[in-house]
Chains A and B, each alone.
Chain A
Amino acid sequence: MSTIEEHEGRHNEFGPPSPARRAFLTKLSLALSGVGGAIVATPIVTFLLGPLFRRVPREWLSVGPVEKFEVGTTVEVVVEDPSPLAWAGLSASTAAWLRRESETEFLAFSVNCTHLGCPIRWLQNASLFMCPCHGGVFYADGRVAGGPPQKPLNQYPVRVQNGQVQLQATTFPPYNDDPGIIR
């Protein structure tokens, strides 16, 4: 066995040493490996970043007839993902808190605390939302009442259509640039 350096000065059956050729072969091999790596890496990285490119259709989803909701109450409603993956199971549903403010006005809140995303609970008698994780408290209209949260509860777009209360399925966390979200 000999190292390349030892081989450089020798003349053997492989012919005369040729440093320029070796330098070329080195660069060629490295460049080719780079190309090979890129061929594989590009689809891999793109695949993994896939969730960023997927456009989820915004749909209005009915959560029940208007008369089901009493004025002044807040109840949990369940929104089904309009196009879930077949194996999504329970996670195809999302819960939301729906408040009927008046005859015509509804508010729909995300169940995720604006502190760190834990599920907030509605205490009907106390008229407060409370978070079981770090003690965030919100008023019935979503304003912060106490604890670590700094932002009011995120809201979903909500409307009444053909006697049905409808929410717009949306994202977690609701995007700042999302026109459909009331912050």
Chain B
Amino acid sequence: MRFTRLFTGPAKKAWAVFDDRTGLGQVLSHQLSHPVPNTTGWVGWSYAIGSAVLVAFILQVVTGVVLATAYVPSTEDAYDSLMYITDQATLGSFLRGLHNYGAWAMIIFIGLHVIQTYLVGAYKFPREANWLSGAVLLLLTLVLAFTGQLLRWDQTAYWSTYVLAAQVERTPIIGDRLADLALAGDTVGGATLTRFYAIHVFFVPALVFMFIGFHLWLVLHTGVSEPPQAGRPVDPKTYRAWYQKYLERNGVPFWPDAAWRDVVLGVGMVAAVAALAIIVGPPELENPPDPTVLQAYPRPDWYFLWIFAALAVVPPALEDLVILGAPAIFGALLVFLPFFANKGERSPKRRPWAIAIVMIAVIMVGTLYVAGERAPWSPYVDQPQLPVEVVAAPEKRALVAQGAQFYYQKGCQACHRMGNWGGLYGPNLTNVHERLSHEQIVISIINGRGGGMPAYAGNLTQQQVNAIVAFLEAEKVQRGEGEPPRDAGEVGAQAED
């Protein structure tokens, strides 16, 4: 590419002088026209995924810098400053939207980029360092995603910091100290948010800049990997010479032959992010981060929801292993991969286990995500009472109605479903009398059942037990209709109506 072609008249002369004194034009045109494999169709587009991550990061930097001009990183003021940005600042809501969906885009595309480079074996010789620097960038991106969610400093963010501290606390020996460092003190307080702020806007982005520079340098140094072909294994002894010849035969200049796809995908992504920011808007701020309001329902953003789900379903004995071991194992796999498998076949057609690993990972994360959305293990603490007339059988109405009252008051509904009402943690009790005998039901209530069911002995009188059992055994004449409201927010909103 010749930059002089872009200019005419005096501008051409000015550019020539600038280029002569700085040398930038020559360097840039040399790098931009470096040969890359000539690719077409889906393969060609897959090469643009990495650039999309870069575009998303740039979007995050520019929108983040602008948000930082109005965001106040103090535990007292952060929430109000976000309210101001969202409701009053010119285009503030739009910018928050851009930053939020930009984060989504960065997570999605970096995930795709890891999967793609893994599937086509692009981490093999001589591109091991590309993979390793990419692994660091993946980790840094996840740190950005988590800390960014905390900067929203609403009720969920407040409790999420405790969830973080509770997890690092499980580290052997130094866990308590690490928890202190995570909270920057004994509890969440004045010093907590500024740390996450500094990590989110200074430490990690600086590292990301460094590693992106390194990553891009490596792309130029080693050359873009060619599309793999089954039966053409990588041999470190001969690969470099072969790749040179390959580029001489099949190479095209990066700009514009390949770069136009990067531009199309990158701009398309920005347009989609902008559309979401306008149509859907930024994530709503929840209640203020008031530690004394315990009507909270903390949930991570969607990209961490699968971890939230994993921590609900994993057996307690394996919990520490999952919390501390799984990230360590995942990290170790990412790091060791290019050391142990840096030669041989690259094509996914000859690496079926690579496809299997990706499929297992995607299915696992996807299933956990769906489970996290539903969160059947979470009690329905704030649900209004089941309308008693839907279950009351006429002949035993008084006792059944009483039982329904106790059923609600004693928290049964928090975990058990009756018709469409109630939680999902315990078994559905709509037709429990068809599964269990009268005695079995009574014993389950009094003694509890291993796992989830508390023992209610001492908490219920004989008369109350009788009433609840009568309610459970009553014919259900009518199911509740529709999905009743579930949590405090919904109930609160209803109460205000």
Interface on A for B, CB 8 Å cutoff? 48-49, 51-52, 54, 56, 76, 78, 81, 84-95, 111-112, 115-121, 123, 125-128, 130-135, 137, 139, 145-148, 150, 170-173, 175-176
- The verdict on B484 contacting chain A, using a C-beta distance below 8 Å, is no
Interface on B for A, CB 8 Å cutoff? 74-77, 158-159, 162-163, 165-167, 169, 176-177, 179-181, 183-192, 288-292, 294-298, 308, 311-312, 316, 319, 377-379, 381, 409-411, 414-415, 425, 448, 451-455, 459, 487
21 examples of A-B residue contacts, CB within 8 angstroms = A56-B185, A76-B292, A89-B190, A91-B188, A93-B290, A111-B294, A115-B166, A117-B166, A118-B163, A121-B381, A126-B410, A132-B296, A133-B378, A134-B378, A145-B448, A145-B455, A146-B452, A147-B377, A171-B187, A172-B183, A175-B176
Q: Whole-angstrom distance from the CB of B190 to the nearest CB of chain A? A: 3
Q: Whole-angstrom distance from the CB of B71 to the nearest CB of chain A? A: 14
User: Which residue of A87, A121, A171 contacts B75 across the interface (Cβ within 8 Å)?
Assistant: A87
Interface centre among A84, A112, A116, A150 (most CB of B within 10 A): A116
Contact between A130 and B381 (Cβ–Cβ < 8 Å)? yes
Contact between A123 and B411 (Cβ–Cβ < 8 Å)? yes
Residue of B nearest to A54 (CB): B185
Contact between B296 and A148 (Cβ–Cβ < 8 Å)? no
Contact between A87 and B190 (Cβ–Cβ < 8 Å)? yes
Interface centre among A127, A139, A176 (most CB of B within 10 A): A127
Residues of chain B within 8 A (CB-CB) of A49 are: 181
Residues of chain A within 8 A (CB-CB) of B77 are: 87, 89
The distance in angstroms between the C-alpha atoms of A76 and B290, with both chains bound, is 13
Residue of B nearest to A134 (CB): B312
The distance in angstroms between the C-alpha atoms of A34 and B131, with both chains bound, is 30
Q: If A91-B289, A117-B162, A118-B296 touch, does A135 touch B186 (CB 8 Å cutoff)?
A: no
The distance in angstroms between the C-alpha atoms of A150 and B315, with both chains bound, is 11
Q: If A118-B159, A134-B377 touch, does A123 touch B414 (CB 8 Å cutoff)?
A: yes
Contact between B409 and A125 (Cβ–Cβ < 8 Å)? yes
Residues of chain A within 8 A (CB-CB) of B296 are: 118-119, 132
Contact between B452 and A147 (Cβ–Cβ < 8 Å)? yes
Residues of chain B within 8 A (CB-CB) of A127 are: 459
Residues of chain A within 8 A (CB-CB) of B295 are: 121
Q: If A90-B290, A116-B311, A172-B165 touch, does A148 touch B297 (CB 8 Å cutoff)?
A: no
Residues of chain B within 8 A (CB-CB) of A120 are: 294
Contact between A94 and B185 (Cβ–Cβ < 8 Å)? no
Interface centre among A84, A87, A93, A145 (most CB of B within 10 A): A87
User: Which residue of A84, A93, A118, A170 contacts B190 across the interface (Cβ within 8 Å)?
Assistant: A84
Contact between A78 and B292 (Cβ–Cβ < 8 Å)? yes
Contact between A85 and B190 (Cβ–Cβ < 8 Å)? yes
For the complex with contacts A85-B191, A91-B76, A127-B459, 10 further pairs of A-B residues with Cβ separation under 8 Å are A51-B181, A52-B177, A52-B181, A112-B162, A118-B296, A119-B298, A125-B409, A132-B381, A133-B163, A147-B425
